[in-house]
Amino acid sequence: MRPDAEMSRAQGRLTRPASGAALVLCATGCDPVLNVAGSFFPAWMVSMLLGVGLTVAARYVLSATRLEPHLGPTTLIYTSLGLFLTVVAWLVLYRG
């Protein structure tokens, strides 16, 4: 194997983890934080709890109206609904 190829491969092994670590460190600094009873929580946790709660409430409504058997694959439906409601809660609460 050529020395140039070995050096290039070694540089690739070093730069990939370093660029990944830099991306993670930059992304963690953008998280809004809420003060709840003296403790600081990331805002995404509030949005996630709200999204899950709304999904559970939607399941009870769909079961009470007997529409749940007509939905299709319930695991896919409720996971998608939970993700959708979490993102909507994030946009409503923390947009701008």
Domains in the chain: boundaries: 1-30, 32-96
Q: Residues 51, 93: contact at Cβ < 8 Å?
A: no
pLDDT in tens, 46-85: 889 999 999 999 999 999 999 988 988 989 999 999 999 9
- Residue length of the chain: 96
> At a CB cut-off of 8 Å and minimum separation 6, what does 55 contact?
78, 81, 82, 85
pLDDT tens digit string along 4-26? Answer: 556 556 556 666 666 666 665 55
CA angle (82 as vertex; 78, 88 as ends), nearest 5? 140
Which residue, chain included where needed, has tokens 């769909």? 62
Q: What's the rounded Cα separation, in Å, for the pair 45 and 51?
A: 10
How crowded is residue 81: how many other Cβ atoms within 10 Å of its Cβ?
Answer: 17
Tokens of 59: 């399941």
pTM: 0.59
